[in-house]
Chains A and B, each alone.
Chain A
Amino acid sequence: MEKKDKGYNRRDFINNGIRLALGATVAGTAAFTLSRSATGKDYVWQIDPFKCTQCGRCATECVRSESAVKCVHAFDLCGYCDVCSGYLKPGAKLETGAENQLCPTAAIQRKYIEEPYFEYIIDEELCIGCGKCVKGCSAFGNGSLHLQIRHDLCLNCNQCSIAASCPSDAISRVPADEPYLIKGDFTKGEEKG
């Protein structure tokens, strides 16, 4: 009977293959970690205000009971709500009485700059990130009110639950050293670039 060559059999091949795969995984992970620490790049979730459709899910889908998404006002872009009605209820008088305001929690306060220009300040304790004011501002005004994920509140989950349900893919990871996509600022950046 012919004697089988036991120098390198199938079992050895599989074992070596597993060792190789494990080695490659460890090396890859180490290289990835080293490259991240070398470039200093870390990533956080953020909303692209130009893709956002103000669907209301930022208010309901965040894992935090108080959503990490808040409205912000790009002051240098527009502050003409007094002539626009963008943050007031449709059909309401152009007056800022609480009964006329669109915000369901009265989170929008304003500061007089010059007639008829105001800076709109969002009370983040009250804002629930529903985007109702953003919808009005985008539909009828210049879109200076927009939603952003606040990183002092965001837990930076591996998979953002709002991003998973966002119908317009408006939420993605951005470099942590540029964590906000404020309309006035990064629009100007694009113009310069």
Chain B
Amino acid sequence: MKKRGLVIVVLVILGVILGVIVVDFLNNRPDRRGRNPYALEVDQYRKVDPSLVRYRETRNFDLGLLIAADMTLYNNHLYVAGNSLLVKISLDGTPMDMIEILPGATSVEVDDQQVIIGFRNRMASYDHRGTLLHQWAVPGDSTWITNLALKADKIFVADAGNRRIIIYNRDGEQTGEFEGKSESESGHGFIVPSPNFDLAVNSFGELWVVNPGKHALENYTEDGRLRGFWDKAGFDIEGFLGCCNPARIAVMKDGSFITSEKGMVRIKIYDPSGKLISVVAPPELFEGGSGKAPEVCVDDQGVVYALDFDRDRVRVFEPIDN
């Protein structure tokens, strides 16, 4: 009888131990843990006032096997560079043409004269049939070309690695260079913490360069003198958030800017003086991605084309008024 009682006690103890182990195992599974007491809460900044969102995503199209690096819009066609190819796509997403380019493109611009491709530390120009015209190395130990802009016979090259804008002619000869520095307080120079350094020439022929470390858009003369700037830093929707924003820009025909931000990805429109006009795409449309800023282009009707690097798709946003 005594022995039986002992067995029962031992069994009860074993049962309790087993129960504790099972409960502990189930509760400690990585997907069943409680809230992180040290969580960084930024969800409130992901929410955007719906009245500010005056665009909607109407369609998107696949880029096939292309691993896209950059995109530009010229003459009502999109040109997407990636792998060793440059693909010409109509605005409804139909592939129209394709030319073979050197591998490793980081940036592309197209105008009446040429197709210009930027690589990490070199440049190449092609005619519209895909014939290689010129290629040249861009000097510098840490050269990292991120974006290009064209105006007449000038090629403006943004070199994030050396925090400078280099100017070439169409034959690949360097005609100028500037770092955005001046004697004035506002002329600190370009602060480029990461390879996000964009520039654009608007329909009035003005050169605008993003100074990402200052969350600023700066207007320069062609010889590198600062003419004006505006800046917006902050977590709220009016500002640019975190490091290196806006990471990419495009210009509308009235001189307004389309801005694309990395980190908390959002696409917005600012007027030429820096006043927020509307939101094209709020962060919720890019949930779950890597946080890389989409490349943006805009056509004459104000339709915004965003190259989503995570999905390898071009996403089309049209004004709701349309």
Contact = CB atoms under 8 A, between A and B. Distances in A.
Interface stretch (B31-39, B56-64, B177-185, B298-306): B31-39
Given A85-B235, A140-B241, A57 B191 contact: no
A83 interface: yes
A166 B236 CA distance: 32
A139 B263 CA distance: 5
Interface stretch (B40-48, B101-109, B167-175, B252-260): B40-48
Interface string A114-149: 011000000000000011100110011110000000
B243 interface: yes
Contacts of B38: 56, 59, 104, 130-132
A91 B213 CA distance: 17
B213 A165 contact: no
B291 A78 contact: no
B243 A90 contact: no
A140 B242 contact: yes
22 contacts: A55-B36, A57-B33, A57-B36, A59-B38, A60-B37, A80-B193, A80-B243, A85-B242, A91-B234, A104-B38, A115-B188, A130-B38, A131-B38, A135-B39, A139-B242, A139-B263, A140-B243, A140-B263, A141-B263, A165-B30, A165-B33, A167-B33
> Which of A84, A135, A136 has the most chain B CB within a 10 Å cutoff?
A84
Contacts of A139: 40, 42, 242, 263-264, 291
Interface string B3-44: 000000000000000000000000010110100111111101
Contacts of A131: 38
Given A94-B233, A116-B191, A116-B213, A141 B39 contact: no
Chain A interface extent, by class: 20 to 34
Contacts of B215: 83
B193 A142 contact: yes
B33 A83 contact: no
B30 A90 contact: no
A166 B213 contact: no
B186 interface: no
B241 A165 contact: no
Interface string B218-251: 0000000000000001111000011110000000
A158 B158 CA distance: 51
Interface of A: 54-57, 59-60, 78, 80, 83-86, 90-91, 94, 102, 104, 115-116, 130-132, 135-136, 139-142, 164-167
The secondary structure that dominates the B interface is: loop
B37 A90 contact: no
Contacts of B39: 56, 132, 135
Chain B interface extent, by class: 20 to 34
Contact of B40 (A60, A83, A132, A167): A132
Contact of B31 (A60, A164, A167): A167
Given A83-B213, A140-B241, A140-B243, A102 B33 contact: no
A12 to B, nearest CB: 36
Contacts of B31: 167
Contacts of A54: 40
Given A140-B243, A165-B28, A90 B41 contact: yes
Nearest to A144: B193
A116 B41 CA distance: 26
A130 B191 CA distance: 30
A167 B30 CA distance: 5
Contacts of B193: 78, 80, 83-84, 141-142
Contacts of B241: 85, 140
A115 to B, nearest CB: 8
Interface string B274-287: 00000000000000
Contact of A90 (B40, B188, B233, B244): B40
A67 to B, nearest CB: 11
B243 A142 contact: yes
B94 interface: no
B37 A83 contact: no
Given A80-B213, A130-B38, A140-B263, 12 more contacts: A56-B39, A60-B37, A80-B191, A83-B213, A90-B235, A91-B45, A91-B235, A116-B191, A130-B37, A131-B38, A135-B39, A140-B264
A80 B33 CA distance: 34
A191 to B, nearest CB: 12
A160 B36 CA distance: 20
Contacts of A102: 40
Contact of B45 (A57, A90, A115, A167): A90
B214 interface: yes
B273 interface: no
